[in-house]
A and B are shown apart, each in its own frame.
Chain A
Amino acid sequence: MEKPHPLTQVGKAVSLVIICALILVPILVVFSTSLASPAEVTENGGWVLFPTEPTLQAYQDILSGGTITRSLAVSVGITVVGTAVSLFGTITLAYVLSREHFSLRKPLLLMVLFTFLFPPGMLPGYLVVKGLGLLDSYWALILPVAINVFNLVIMRGFFQGLPQELYDAARIDGAGELTVLLRIVLPLSKAVIAVIGLFYAVGYWNSFFSAILYLNDSSKWPLQAVLQTVVTKGANLGGNTTDALSDSGAVAAPQTYQMATVVVAVIPILIIYPFIQKYFTKGVLTGAIKS
């Protein structure tokens, strides 16, 4: 095949560089601003691209006990417990739905897929949570979103894609379903479990609305819900000191503190992301395309 025109190639390369810059520069600005001294931020009108004297003062202040520290602990707890619950529910149901010989497979599958077409709606969902007595409980942030149909379908597709011979061999050896799941399917499904686990973890880590909806007591709020008050109030007050931050001792230059809070909320994702990113294609696509 003939080579494409060099000018076209250059144009494409330049567009890709610009796209990456559009994504990375805003993130860089947030990091830089959080590392700058309050004085420098004020002087520069609210943002800094390259701080002259980087300092971790803002982080020390927001993490020295108080709202941010407390909500951070809540977020970590919900993310860990929620991801475990979600993975358990998703793996078990996906496995059952992937077993061709299971007599209830079709009706159960229909039951699950139907919910995809007809989501129940916010208010009825709220009433269920209320009816179960889960208001103001952390379980309200986990149970209603425990299984995601999309993740379930991907997981099931992946399980179905495993070679059938493995199941047959295990059966001949007299292995029960549980043994097959634990000893054969799970070890072979690390990629998809890592990816789906990341999806769930990110979902729990990032959600703020269910906290606002279900936790009346704002001292129980996770980080994103607290950050939400900072963000929306920051917008309304034009960057004044906010309640959520003031009781952690932050007074001056809220921008630095706001951005430090944002970074605290972003860093866990940045840490886990590279480890799991390599599984994206393998895990998601084999699952999605097969099903």
Chain B
Amino acid sequence: MTSTIERAGGSPAPSADPPDPPPASPARTDRLTRWGRELRGQRTLLLLALPGIAYFLVFHYAALFGNVIAFKDFVPFQGLWESPWVGLDNFQRMFEDAAFWQAAWNTLAIAVLQLVFFFPLPLALALLLHSLARGGVRKLIQSVVYLPHFLSWVIVVALFQQLLGPTGMFGGNVAFVTDVLANPDAFKPLMVVQIIWKDCGWGTIIFLAALSQVNQDLYESAALDGAGPRRRFWHVTLPAIRPIVILLLIMRLGDILTVGFEQILLQRDAVGPEAGEVLDTFVYYQGVLGADWGYSAAAGLFKGVVGAVLVFSANKIAHRLGEQGVYK
């Protein structure tokens, strides 16, 4: 790269109509002009990339490095460097902490409920939409089902209160709904119902795109071969969207310990930490509010590492099964 710059440095700037190359070594001049162009372009490109690179270095890599406080007894006024190392003490304490395991358990329970009850729904809704609606009607329905995705969790929670809260549409009138928002036993299903309401429609967008790209000839030849609607669904539709389902599943697995931080933070107080604490809120309450920095960073790091391991393994399995996965 350096040599490229040095050698190209002296070459003239490219112009709209380059002068005829000297007959002695046309290849060499050509190369120099090309390098000249490349360099000019690359200098601009580097400059253009700079803000973005700075962003990732500061807010991702420096922050990633900040995770060392998980191995320290972090004292804010002493700073990151001066705080004493404590090895794995924070992790040891964490693994002996019942509150941590409660949070981990709640996280896992909500994640599994989401995987079972939320994950397949957008696919089902997309298939329903695809098989029934066309043109304007389909666009109209899509506009409606995408909409909740763009509402904030604050709004969604307010909406649920207006429906199910003690003075809500149903909460105030239907006996068994009363107090559902403050009922610890109902908390986990409620979280899943809310995310279904908010994001099920939005989740269809990628499936609808995949479905629209299925070759129509396949359906026709399958029909000619005597395949009924059900067989066409199994042998044409499903295989066509399988890679995308697997891709989303892998991404979801890597993210499985993230179960709606804002959503849960907003509603945790109504049911208490026993039912409502998840790993993310645990980190927030212990670390930011409780100023127990090293300890909660350990919990955060634990979550991050488990997530990364899950992505790696899920991707490996996908490759074994002959799928493309997220990356090669």
Contacts and interface: CB of A to CB of B under 8 A. Distances in A.
A285 interface: yes
A120 B172 contact: no
A231 B162 CA distance: 10
Contacts of B307: 119
B297 A123 contact: yes
Interface stretch (A56-64, A76-84, A101-109, A242-250): A101-109
A22 B48 contact: no
The listed residue with most B CB atoms (<10 A of its CB), out of A4, A112, A120, is A120
A103 to B, nearest CB: 6
Interface string A96-122: 110101111000100111010111111
Given A12-B128, A123-B297, A262-B159, A23 B16 contact: no
A253 to B, nearest CB: 11
Given A23-B145, A115-B60, A120-B66, A96 B45 contact: yes
A108 B147 contact: no
A281 B209 contact: yes
- Tell me if B's interface is mostly helix, strand, loop or mixed: helix
B206 A288 contact: yes
Contact of A47 (B14, B53, B167): B167
B266 A285 contact: no
Q: Which of B64, B197, B220, B296 has the most CB of A within 10 A?
A: B64
A47 B162 CA distance: 7
Contact of A273 (B15, B55, B147, B265): B147
B63 A45 contact: no
A231 B55 contact: no
Contacts of B66: 120-121, 123-125, 127-128
B327 A113 contact: yes
A235 B161 contact: yes
Contact of B297 (A93, A121, A152, A239): A121
B67 to A, nearest CB: 5
Contact of B63 (A13, A127, A177): A127
Contact of B64 (A124, A178, A208): A124
Contacts of A22: 197
Contacts of B304: 118-121
Given A92-B48, A99-B45, A234-B161, A173 B167 contact: no
Most chain B beta carbons < 10 A, residue from A45, A118, A124, A144: A124
Given A45-B173, A176-B40, A209 B152 contact: no
Contact of B44 (A2, A9, A176, A265): A176
B158 interface: yes
A92 B209 contact: no
B186 interface: no
Given A16-B128, A208-B152, A128 B59 contact: yes
A231 B157 contact: yes
B166 interface: yes
A99 B37 CA distance: 14
Given A16-B141, A119-B304, A125-B59, A266 B155 contact: yes
A108 B49 contact: yes
Best-surrounded residue of B49, B159, B182, B205 (most CB of chain A within 10 A): B49
Contacts of B287: 122-123, 126
Interface string B181-221: 11000000000000001000100011011000100000110
A20 interface: yes
Contacts of B296: 123
B60 A103 contact: no
Interface in A203-222: 205-209, 213
Interface string B1-21: 100000000000011100000
A89 B284 CA distance: 29
B22 interface: no
B311 interface: yes
B325 interface: no
A174 B300 contact: no
Interface string B141-165: 1111111101111110111111101
A115 B69 CA distance: 19
B326 to A, nearest CB: 9
A236 B266 CA distance: 11
B238 interface: no
Given A88-B51, A123-B287, A266-B151, 10 more contacts: A16-B132, A23-B144, A92-B52, A120-B59, A120-B304, A147-B56, A173-B16, A235-B269, A265-B155, A289-B209
22 contacts: A4-B229, A9-B132, A12-B132, A15-B128, A23-B197, A30-B158, A92-B49, A104-B49, A111-B56, A120-B66, A120-B304, A121-B301, A122-B284, A123-B287, A123-B297, A123-B300, A127-B69, A202-B150, A205-B152, A231-B157, A235-B165, A284-B205
Interface of B: 1, 14-16, 37-38, 40-42, 44-46, 48-49, 51-53, 55-56, 58-67, 69, 80, 125, 128-129, 131-133, 141-148, 150-155, 157-163, 165-169, 172-173, 181-182, 197, 201, 205-206, 208-209, 213, 219-220, 223, 228-229, 254, 261-262, 265-267, 269-270, 280, 283-284, 287-288, 293, 296-297, 300-301, 303-304, 307-308, 311, 327
Interface of A: 1-2, 4, 9, 12-13, 15-16, 19-20, 22-24, 26-27, 29-30, 33, 45-47, 49, 88-90, 92-93, 95-97, 99, 101-104, 108, 111-113, 115, 117-128, 132, 143-144, 146-147, 152, 171, 173-174, 176-178, 181, 202, 205-209, 213, 224, 227-228, 230-232, 234-236, 238-239, 255, 258-259, 262, 265-266, 269, 273-274, 277, 280-281, 284-285, 288-289
